[in-house]
Amino acid sequence: MALDEEFNTLKSKKDDLGILTIYLNTDLSEHDEWKIRLKNGIKRLEEYAEKSDEKESKKALQNLLREANAYIYDQQKNMQKSLVLFASADGDIWTATTLQVPVESSFHWDTQADTAQLEELQEKYPATGIIVTQQRDVTLIDVALGEVRDEKKFSWDLEKEDWIDYDDQSSPPSAADTSIDDFQRRFEENQHRWYKNLAPVLTNELKNRGLNGSYFVGSKESVSELTQHISDSYINGKIAKNLGSKPAHEIIDQVYGSDIR
């Protein structure tokens, strides 16, 4: 389950022994600074535990800190901009997520999770679509808090003359018996009609998923062609970059790091 979908559970959960909350800035451009932040944050909570007269709570915190520290180091290869972790002493909650959006490093131990910064992230990075065009392929990336929740790919089938939901096919849509030059010619002649047919499908996806609009990514021509058939209320920004061959996490990084126009 995506972190934003767990928010209500995290916010309502109470544990008399304690709930550990960690927000850790892991921006790799700062090299190993995250290790220093993690070490200092854990040290402060350990010092807090030593002063406590609540033996069970202290033991629970010490155990969770060891587990959290080991887990975070295990995630080194998956580090992005940040890591958020929540863990309750009773074991009901253990959720840790790497995000492509920044956080301010902070460590908390209380009877409830500290969700204040998570709430701020939800406001700043709400559930949003990123629609990536690459001629006959168009991909919708469903993103919240910079985390990929789902991907849906549509491809134009030259034989059926229709957009096919790639995920619903046992095999990729047919490219038909056509040369690259012939396809390019047909694409240039028909892209207006092809994208016009796809626009309402994408609009329904954004609406049904409850997404806060979408960023449109691709060549200047394809983005312009597609967005002219989509209501401005669903357009958060346009990014003229050919990123169709990139993995989702790289596309997200480009979107959040771009000067969106």
Instruction: State how far the Cα of 93 lies from the Cα of 140, in Å rounded to an integer.
Output: 31
In this predicted structure, the answer to whether residue 179 has a pLDDT above a threshold of 80 is no
d(CA 138, CA 165): 10
Other beta carbons within 10 Å of 26: 25
**Structure confidence at residue 193 (pLDDT):** 82
Nearest to 155 by CA among 165, 145, 146, 140: 165
The SS3 of residue 199 is helix
Domain boundary (72, 91, 123) is at 123
Per residue in 110-121, pLDDT tens?
999 999 999 999
CATH of residue 54's domain is 3.30.960.10
Please tell me whether residues 90 and 137 are part of one structural domain.
Answer: no
CA-based nearest residue to 98, from 83, 86, 87: 83
Give the C-alpha distances (Å, rounded to integers) separating 167 from 170, 172, 173, 253. 8, 9, 10, 24
196 in helix, strand or coil?
A: helix
Do residues 37 and 104 share a domain? yes
Residues 207 and 144 in one domain: yes
Last residue in a domain, options 100, 123, 146: 123
CATH of the domain at 221: 3.30.420
Burial 171-180 (b: 16+ CB within 10 A, else e): eebeeeeeee
| Claim: this prediction has a pTM higher than 0.75 | yes
User: Residues 125-161: pLDDT tens digits?
Assistant: 999 999 999 877 899 999 998 889 999 999 877 777 7
| 188-223 pLDDT tens trace | 667 778 889 899 999 999 999 999 999 999 999 999
Q: Are residues 83 and 171 in the same domain?
A: no
**C-alpha distance across the termini of the chain, in Å:** 32
Residues 97 and 160 in one domain: no
Average pLDDT in the chain:
88
Residue 173 pLDDT > 90, yes or no? no
CB 4 within 8 A of CB 122: yes
Please spell the DSSP secondary structure of 6-73, one letter per residue. Answer: GHHHHHH-EEEEEEEEEEEE--GGGTTHHHHHHHHHHHHHHHHHHH-S-HHHHHHHHHHHHHHHHHHH
Of 123, 139, 165, the one marking the end of a domain is: 123
Q: How many CB atoms lie within 10 A of CB 189?
A: 10
Same domain as 130, residue 112: no
> Which pLDDT belongs to residue 259?
41
Each residue's pLDDT tens digit, 7-26: 889 999 999 999 999 999 99
Q: What is the mean predicted confidence (pLDDT) over 78-84?
A: 91
- Which pLDDT band, with edges at 50, 70 and 90, does 60 fall under? very high
pLDDT at 228 over 90: yes
Same domain, 107 and 43: yes
How many domains does one find in the chain? 2
- Domain shared by 70 and 154, yes or no: no
Q: What is the pLDDT of residue 260?
A: 41
Mean pLDDT of 84-93: 96
Given a cut of 60, is residue 55 above it in pLDDT? yes
What mean pLDDT do residues 76-84 have? 91
Select the more confidently predicted residue: 85 or 186.
85
Mean pLDDT across the stretch 224-250?
93
**Burial classification of residue 102, based on how many CB atoms lie within 10 Å of its CB (0-12 exposed, 13-18 middle, 19 or more buried):** middle
DSSP string of 134-188? Answer: ETTEEEEEEEETTEEEEEEEEEEETTTTEEEEGGG-SSPPP--S--HHHHHHHHH
pLDDT of residue 78: 87
Per-residue pLDDT at 192: 79
Tokens of 220: 């200047």
Q: Which two tokens stand for residue 213?
A: 């609009």
For residues 184 and 72, state if they share a domain. Answer: no
What distance in Å separates the CA atoms of residue 226 and residue 34, rounded to the nearest whole number? 41
Q: Looking at residue 85, what DSSP letter applies?
A: E
* Residue 53 shares a structural domain with residue 137: no
133 in the same domain as 116: no
Q: Please indicate, yes or no, whether residues 162 and 251 belong to a single structural domain of this protein.
A: yes
Task: Look up the domain containing 157 and give its range.
Answer: 126-257
